[in-house]
Amino acid sequence: MENNIEKLIALVHKLPEKCVEEAIEAVEKIIGENAEEDEEKPKCPDCGNEEVYKNGSKKGKQRYICRKCGKSYGKTTGTVMYNSHCGEAVWRQVIKDTISGASIDETACKLALTHNIVFDMRHKILYAIEKHADIEMTVLSGVCEIDDTYVLESYKGTKLPDDYWRKPRKHGAKAEKPGISNEYIGICTGVERSGKAIGSAVGRATPDKEDIKNAFSNRIGKGSLILCDGAKSYDVLRGETGCEVVNASNEEDSFFNINSVNSFHAFIKEKYNKYRGVATKYLNRYVAFFTRIFRADNDMVDQIYSILTSANSANYHTNHHVKSGNLFLH
């Protein structure tokens, strides 16, 4: 994907010293002109009122005040970008790199930012998508394929306790035990033949009936046809969803297959490997992100940026909260 910011930084590096001040003045002029042209007043993030007026500026950013509730706010109040020193172009590039699976250090190098800044930006994006998925829950309908997949437990970025039950692993290492063991985290996934996907990490090793109920009971519409791999645990969905559950492995008709959900599993593994694994505590926010971009169209960056810039109580969160909220504890 084209990175105009990286191109701009490369051009600045080539400037002779006497031209740097001229470049700064030119960029500041563009920013000022852009601010003057952007006269649309954002509605109040607290009460939604559109009758607002300007209320001075803070740190060079325009402030507004609501005529109805008296709340003072800026254009980024209540959004992921609140208190961020990075503009739209930088946020869009971090979104692009997160979709493509670029490492945090690779993105940081492109944008001349630190590892910690990009880490916080990436996780604000992931956390916002996870919260958005909770608010606007995806419900599968029609022909639905469900199955579970597994990834190795990971303490990436954290030192293991001295008395932990296993030794630390390097990137690319394999499980010590054969088969599906407690070294793996199970992820319950479901895919509609038409494209929508859902998923959630549920616990160590193979999901049991309770895990499957929690993952799917409110996520599959009435009258749907559920295709699975024949594991007896999935029979619990007959009573929970009122849908027909078919063991695809027992059917001769080629219509009864779970190729779509297997394709989703391959997609998860591909992204997971590109990230060189993810810390298990953050696994569900990555799964929410994977379900969002699976079979994504070309305007996915715009869709995600729209989520980030929507002013609501679920969108704004501090760096501390991103690192400690909604963690997957296993």
Close Cβ partners of 242 (under 8 Å, ≥ 6 residues apart) = 222, 223
Q: Number of folded domains in the chain?
A: 2
Q: Tell me which residue of 219, 206, 209, 217 sits closest to 291, measured CA to CA.
A: 219
Q: Is 234 within the bounds of a domain? A: yes
CA atoms of 325 and 127, how far apart (whole Å): 9
CA atoms of 301 and 223, how far apart (whole Å): 34
Give pLDDT tens digits along the chain (330 positions): 456 788 888 888 888 888 888 888 888 777 766 655 556 788 888 888 888 888 888 877 788 999 889 988 888 888 888 888 888 899 999 999 999 999 999 999 989 999 999 999 999 999 999 999 888 899 999 999 999 999 999 988 888 888 888 888 887 778 888 888 889 999 999 999 988 999 999 999 899 999 999 999 889 999 999 999 888 899 999 988 889 999 998 888 889 999 999 999 999 999 988 888 899 999 999 999 999 999 887 789 999 999 998 876 556 778 888 888 889 886
207 in the same domain as 66: no
Contact by Cβ (8 Å): 33, 11: no
Close Cβ partners of 129 (under 8 Å, ≥ 6 residues apart) = 285, 288, 289, 292, 304, 307
Q: Tell me which residue of 229, 135, 138, 238 sits closest to 192, measured CA to CA.
A: 138
| Structural domain of 71 | 41-75
- The alpha-helical segments, DSSP class H, found in the chain are 4-13, 17-37, 88-100, 104-111, 115-135, 209-216, 236-241, 259-274, 283-293, 300-308, 319-324
160 in the same domain as 54: no
Q: Is 113 within the bounds of a domain? A: no
173 in the same domain as 249: yes
202 in the same domain as 66: no
Q: Is 180 within the bounds of a domain? A: yes
Q: Is 285 within the bounds of a domain? A: yes
60 in the same domain as 173: no
Q: Is 208 within the bounds of a domain? A: yes
CA atoms of 258 and 147, how far apart (whole Å): 8
Q: Which two tokens stand for residue 100?
A: 């493509």
CA atoms of 68 and 46, how far apart (whole Å): 10
Contact by Cβ (8 Å): 216, 223: no
Q: Is 329 within the bounds of a domain? A: no
Q: How many CB atoms lie within 10 A of CB 59?
A: 8
Among 20, 52, 75, the domain boundary falls at 75
286 in the same domain as 150: yes
Q: Is 94 within the bounds of a domain? A: no
Q: Is 308 within the bounds of a domain? A: no
